[in-house]
């Protein structure tokens, strides 16, 4: 059997990188297998995930639909950096205007192109992530014991489940050992994205994130949004928060309880290519 020739685009938001496939034009039979193969940084393209662009289920509610798969093949409900990359793909190819909506498993997300480059392509985009849902298990700035380590942790759902842990020195915190332990803790049966956050000034944070099914990434958009929301709730931050991730900066606006949060940041197209898929 001859392999399928599958065109793709490589994009990133603050170095949180993705392989994007227009699955409406080029159907993908096994997205989980494609995610595992394409995300491998030695034998594949290399990415933090696979994005599929699909037609919306309801064209009255959205212009496109996104499915996102982690490198382990698991499907995520939504992805802030991935949405901006997908939005750039659509806008640059004149499939949407400056304001548009994208369906995800977490619901419909309103998006906007905030800045363009000299050639007219999207440079910065914002996405309405959704209304945060604080759930038990633990919930908000509660004690969390883990292998003899005393932490304080906040848990919320923002499309995906997130855990936020404030630390004194995020650069030297053992993210790669504590992150996976929290991710797979039985108190989070769905597993959880874990962001370790250090306040650095008024309405400013530094963040490192351990993503479920991925590992530590250089940025996490929904994690940055979750961190800003928790900082407002428990640290008295204002509605606009700058979040410095490992490879850039994201900004979050949240008007408070019952309101949706909006994430803004860059999106970059790196290259196009063709995958041979068995």
* Ordered DSSP codes for 52-74: EEE--S-TTT-SEEEEEE-TTSP
Q: Do 190 and 272 belong together in one domain?
A: no
- Residue 275: how many other CB atoms lie within 10 Å: 18
CATH code, domain with 195? 3.10.310.10
Q: Do 159 and 76 belong together in one domain?
A: no
Query: pTM of the entire structure?
Result: 0.94
CA distance 223 to 175: 14
Q: Do 196 and 244 belong together in one domain?
A: yes
Q: Do 245 and 211 belong together in one domain?
A: yes
Active site residue 79: yes
Q: What's the domain count of the chain?
A: 2
Q: Do 123 and 188 belong together in one domain?
A: no
Torsion of CA 80, 81, 82, 88, to 10 degrees: 110
Active site residue 85: no
Q: Do 140 and 252 belong together in one domain?
A: yes
Tokens of 113: 């192109």
Q: What's the sign of the alpha-carbon dihedral 78, 80, 85, 91?
A: positive
Q: Do 79 and 141 belong together in one domain?
A: no
Tokens of 119: 């050639």
Q: Do 194 and 88 belong together in one domain?
A: no
Q: Do 81 and 41 belong together in one domain?
A: yes
* Domain extent for 99: 4-129+265-277
* pLDDT tens, per residue, the chain with 278 residues: 577 899 999 999 999 999 999 999 999 999 999 999 999 999 999 999 999 999 999 999 999 999 999 999 999 998 999 999 999 999 999 999 999 999 999 999 999 999 999 999 999 999 999 999 886 555 789 999 887 889 999 999 998 999 999 999 999 999 999 999 999 999 899 999 999 999 999 999 999 999 998 999 999 999 999 999 999 999 999 999 999 999 999 999 999 989 999 999 999 999 999 998 87
Q: Do 65 and 157 belong together in one domain?
A: no
Quick one: DSSP state of residue 256? S
Q: Which of 14, 79, 85, 109 is catalytic?
A: 79
Q: Do 120 and 17 belong together in one domain?
A: yes
| Contact present, 11 and 18 (Cβ < 8 Å) | yes
Q: Do 39 and 11 belong together in one domain?
A: yes
């Amino acid at each position: 059997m001859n392999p399928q020739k599958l065109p793709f685009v490589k994009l990133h938001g603050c170095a949180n990188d993705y392989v994007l496939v227009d699955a409406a034009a080029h159907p993908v039979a096994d997205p989980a297998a494609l995610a595992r193969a394409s995300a491998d940084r030695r034998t594949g393209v290399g990415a933090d995930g696979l994005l599929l662009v699909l037609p919306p289920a309801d064209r009255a509610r959205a212009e496109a639909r996104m499915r996102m798969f982690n490198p382990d093949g698991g499907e995520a409900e939504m992805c802030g950096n991935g949405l901006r990359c997908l939005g750039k793909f659509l806008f640059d190819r004149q499939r949407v205007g400056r304001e548009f909506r994208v369906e995800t498993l977490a619901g419909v997300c309103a998006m906007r192109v905030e800045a363009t480059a000299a050639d007219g392509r999207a440079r910065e985009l914002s996405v309405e992530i959704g209304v945060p849902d604080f759930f038990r298990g633990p919930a908000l700035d509660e004690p969390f014991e883990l292998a003899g380590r005393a932490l304080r942790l906040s848990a919320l759902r923002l499309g995906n489940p997130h855990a936020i842990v404030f630390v004194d020195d995020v650069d030297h915190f053992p993210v790669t050992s504590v992150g996976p332990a929290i991710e797979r803790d039985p108190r989070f049966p769905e597993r959880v994205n874990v962001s370790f956050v250090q306040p650095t000034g008024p309405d400013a944070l530094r963040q490192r994130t351990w993503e479920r099914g991925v590992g530590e990434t250089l940025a996490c958009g929904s994690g940055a949004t979750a961190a800003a929301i928790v900082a407002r709730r428990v640290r008295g931050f204002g509605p606009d928060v700058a979040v410095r991730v490992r490879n850039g900066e994201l900004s979050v606006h949240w008007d408070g309880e019952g309101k949706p949060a909006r994430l803004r940041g860059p999106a970059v197209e790196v290259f196009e290519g063709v995958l041979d898929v068995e």
